[in-house]
């Protein structure tokens, strides 16, 4: 593997300005990303107290199923009052979901190592598994290659409910069949059978979506001491109950703080992405396995769909009695993370950078400072055969990553269609139309009722010329087919469906093709957090 870097700008103005260090972004965050900011953050964390012992006890109990001494040792380090954490999270996608999930975990691990060396304190990598998330349509599929086309391949499991990923049971038979379908899209290699067998073992041990994710992630990263924190685990709620009550107490202040921050963002010509925070308590209530957002108004809290209504005092008591019935939303999840963990840094994707920028006042309302927000590594895998096609077809890698190869394919094909031919067809159409127009005029002098027939005849003649032109173009396509397919392969590999590679493809394709050493080499590359796009040449 070889690492190279390119400068690729985000299309999101807020994210672009944040990454480029635009001073206009400063008011949205509590820290910069300079050397002195890390010392300040570390000092700020020393003034805070955390329930480290209870959190470590809970995590040790939860991680028992992974049977990993390295993970247990990492958890024990949390008891050290000097220790801090680098945290990032993602939804519990099937087979770990899109590549950006793995890129984020790598970012957490690499950044934690760097900061431990620089700050000379224990820095622990923590991955926040979004098990409390209920948008199952975002995690119940992968994209696979089907005869050269990108296809969404969904786990056909019926009876979806608005339930948390951590509590949605996997249909073992359907999941097994789906897994075989994924591997049927791969080229069989010397690694295929072992990888498939391993994933089948992970599946057999898993009862839910998030468990399936966790067993795979734990196996991939346990030797790195990665801690998995499943936000949908009922056992975590006992540690969260106190803060749920604090969030409830300050729900009006929280809602107003987010509203004001979003208004300020709009004044700065940026676009907020969090919706409805001012009308909600920013907590979910679980009933019969489904999650419902708690709304507020007229001094009361309610769930419309269930016809439930509470006073603030009643809801406060219910949280104390049944904390497992409550969970966070997009506003309160970052705050809960800050309550539970001594977070040195939060590793964020582009969307997270945007919505965390809407939350600085919310952190302040809860007596916190927002941790430094570090853009995760953005990575593209460049396979050797694709790199070769880039060279052979004189395609720029930068343009392919930013825009894809479709426009370059169009330019190439246009150069292969003789301009003399297209101009001749155009002139023929114009001359024939001119002659036919004269004929139509003479015919209409004979009988005006001939007009529909005349227009139909004119269109037919033009259609025949277009048919001739398309037939010639098809012959050129057939002649240049191999080259045109190369452009398609470049597009499919580097910018499938017009999106960055990391948003579409899954890590298992690469593990199947290149073997288990692929992951270890990928982890050890000399990444830098200089906001450059990382291209990994395979």
Tell me the average pLDDT across 481-499. Answer: 96
Tell me the average pLDDT across 319-329. Answer: 96
pLDDT in tens, 265-294: 999 999 999 987 778 899 999 999 899 999
Whether 103 contacts 378, CB under 8 Å: yes
**The tokens of 205 are what?**
């041990």
% helix / strand / coil in the chain, to the nearest 5? 60, 15, 25
Long-range contacts of 277-283, Cβ-Cβ distance < 8 Å, separation of 24 or more: 277/331, 279/255, 280/255, 280/329, 281/247, 281/248, 281/251, 281/315, 282/247, 282/251, 282/254, 282/255, 282/328, 282/329, 282/331, 282/332, 283/244, 283/247, 283/248, 283/326, 283/327, 283/328, 283/329, 283/332
Residues 252 and 530: their CA atoms lie apart, in Å, by 39
pLDDT at 159: 57
pLDDT in tens, 93-108: 999 999 999 999 999 9
* Phi, psi of 24, rounded to the nearest 5 degrees: -65, -20
- Beta bridge partner(s), residue 538: none
pLDDT in tens, 213-272: 999 999 999 999 999 999 999 999 999 999 999 999 999 999 999 999 999 999 999 999
pLDDT at 158: 66
pLDDT at 276: 79
**The tokens of 77 are what?**
């380090």
Kindly compute the dihedral angle of the four CA atoms of residues 102, 363, 59, 324, in this order, to the nearest 10 degrees. -110
pLDDT at 182: 98
Whether 362 contacts 264, CB under 8 Å: no
Question: How many CA atoms lie less than 13 Å away from 314 in the CB half-sphere?
Answer: 8
pLDDT at 326: 96
Higher-confidence residue of 156 and 262: namely: 262
**pLDDT range class, residue 361, cuts 50, 70, 90:** very high
Tell me the average pLDDT across 431-448. Answer: 95
Q: What is the DSSP letter of 525?
A: S
Strand order in the sheet with 280-287: 308-310, 300-303, 290-297, 280-287, 326-328
Report if pTM > 0.75.
Answer: yes
Higher-confidence residue of 345 and 531: namely: 345
* Residue intervals in the chain for CATH 3.40.50.620: 1-236+248-271+329-398+499-538
- CATH number for 1-236+248-271+329-398+499-538 (one of 3.40.50.620, 3.20.20.150, 3.40.50.300, 1.10.10.10): it is 3.40.50.620
Tell me the average pLDDT across 158-167. Answer: 78
Residues 374 and 32: their CA atoms lie apart, in Å, by 9
Question: How many CA atoms lie less than 13 Å away from 261 in the CB half-sphere?
Answer: 30
Does the pLDDT value for residue 334 go beyond 60?
yes
Residues 39 and 117: their CA atoms lie apart, in Å, by 13
pLDDT at 160: 58
Whether 66 contacts 93, CB under 8 Å: no
Does the pLDDT value for residue 350 go beyond 60?
yes
Q: What is the DSSP letter of 475?
A: H
Does the pLDDT value for residue 443 go beyond 80?
yes
Please, what is the average pLDDT of the chain?
95
- Beta bridge partner(s), residue 374: 347
Question: How many CA atoms lie less than 13 Å away from 197 in the CB half-sphere?
Answer: 5
Q: How far is CA 152 from CA 116, 145, 175, 260, 328, in A?
A: 40, 9, 15, 40, 29
Q: What is the DSSP letter of 169?
A: B
Tell me the average pLDDT across 180-199. Answer: 98
Q: How far is CA 141 from CA 6, 97, 131, 153, 192, in A?
A: 30, 8, 16, 5, 20
Closest CA to 538 of 378, 377, 379: 379
């Amino acid at each position: 593997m070889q690492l190279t870097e390119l400068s690729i700008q985000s299309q999101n103005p807020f994210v672009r300005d944040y990454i480029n260090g635009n001073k206009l972004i400063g008011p949205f965050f509590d820290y910069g990303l300079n050397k002195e900011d890390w010392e300040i953050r570390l000092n700020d964390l020393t003034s805070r107290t955390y329930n480290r012992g209870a959190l470590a006890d809970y995590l040790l109990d939860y991680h028992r199923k992974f049977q990993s001494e390295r993970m247990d040792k990492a958890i024990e380090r949390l008891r050290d009052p000097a220790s801090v954490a680098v945290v990032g999270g993602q939804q519990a996608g099937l087979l770990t979901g899109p590549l950006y999930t793995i890129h984020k975990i790598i970012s957490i691990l690499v950044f934690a190592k760097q900061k431990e060396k620089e700050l000379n304190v224990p820095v622990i990598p923590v991955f926040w598994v979004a098990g409390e998330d209920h948008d199952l349509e975002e995690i119940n599929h992968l994209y696979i290659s089907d005869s050269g086309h990108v296809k969404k391949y969904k786990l056909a499991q019926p009876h979806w409910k608005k339930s948390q990923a951590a509590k949605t049971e996997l249909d073992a038979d359907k999941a097994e069949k789906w897994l075989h379908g994924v591997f049927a899209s791969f080229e069989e290699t010397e690694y295929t059978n072992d990888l498939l067998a391993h994933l089948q073992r992970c599946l057999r041990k898993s009862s839910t979506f998030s468990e399936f994710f966790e067993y795979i992630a734990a196996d991939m990263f346990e030797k790195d001491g990665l801690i998995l924190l499943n936000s949908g685990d009922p056992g975590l709620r006992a540690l969260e109950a106190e803060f749920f009550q604090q969030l409830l107490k300050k729900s009006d202040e929280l809602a107003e703080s987010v509203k004001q921050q979003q208004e300020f963002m709009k004044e700065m010509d940026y676009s907020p992405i969090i919706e409805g925070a001012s009308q909600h308590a920013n907590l979910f209530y679980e009933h019969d396995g489904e999650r419902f957002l708690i709304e507020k108004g007229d001094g009361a809290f309610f769930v419309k769909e269930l016809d439930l209504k509470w006073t603030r005092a009643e809801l406060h008591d219910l949280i104390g009695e049944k904390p497992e019935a409550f969970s966070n939303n997009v506003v309160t999840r970052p705050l809960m993370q800050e309550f539970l963990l001594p977070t040195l840094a939060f590793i964020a994707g582009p969307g997270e950078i945007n919505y965390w920028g809407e939350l600085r006042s919310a952190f302040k309302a809860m007596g916190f400072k927002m941790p430094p927000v570090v853009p995760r590594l953005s990575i593209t895998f460049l396979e050797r055969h694709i790199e070769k096609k880039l060279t052979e077809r004189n395609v720029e890698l930068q343009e392919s990553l930013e825009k894809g190869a479709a426009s370059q394919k169009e330019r190439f094909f246009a150069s292969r269609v003789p301009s003399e031919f297209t101009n001749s067809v155009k002139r023929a159409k114009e001359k024939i139309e001119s002659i036919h127009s004269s004929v139509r005029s003479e015919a209409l002098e004979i009988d005006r009722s001939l007009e529909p027939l005349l227009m139909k005849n004119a269109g037919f003649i033009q259609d025949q010329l277009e048919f001739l032109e398309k037939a010639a173009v098809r012959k050129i396509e057939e002649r240049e087919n191999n080259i045109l397919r190369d452009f398609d392969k470049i597009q499919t590999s580097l910018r499938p469906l017009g999106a960055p590679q990391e948003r579409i493809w899954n890590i298992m394709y690469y593990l199947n093709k290149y073997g288990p050493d692929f992951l270890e080499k990928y982890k050890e590359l000399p990444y830098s957090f200089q906001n450059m796009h990382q291209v990994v040449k395979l």
